[in-house]
Amino acid sequence: MTPKNTQGHTKARAHTLTDTHTHIHTHTQEMTYTQFWALVSEGNIERVRYFGPEQRAVMVKTRQSAPGGARFCKVRACVCV
């Protein structure tokens, strides 16, 4: 029986978390404000978080039941002048 290498496991886990973080940001789609509120009314939004230095956008995670399935989308705030 060989001893378990805990150091390698820790490095592998850190690498996986980094890959996940990169995957989310490289595969983010844009969503319009209108599309966002339509999905909210249908109950297809799982999570919403403020995004950006000025927090003028939100990062949205849709549910699997949403059209297009589960995904991360960026929604910019509607600015009316």
Residue 58 maps to a domain: yes
Residue 5 maps to a domain: no
Residue 3 maps to a domain: no
Q: Supply the pLDDT for residue 27.
A: 65
Domain that holds residue 33: 29-81
Q: Supply the pLDDT for residue 6.
A: 53
Q: What b/e string do you get for 10-25 counting C-beta neighbours within 10 Å, with b at 16 or more?
A: eeeeeeeeeeeeeeee
Q: What is the pLDDT along the chain (81 residues), one digit of tens a residue?
A: 555 555 555 444 444 444 444 444 556 789 998 999 999 999 999 999 998 888 888 999 999 999 999 999 999 876 665
Give the tokens for residue 30: 């844009």
Strands (E) located in the chain: 29-31, 45-51, 57-62, 72-76
Residue 22 maps to a domain: no
Q: Supply the pLDDT for residue 81.
A: 57
Residue 20 maps to a domain: no
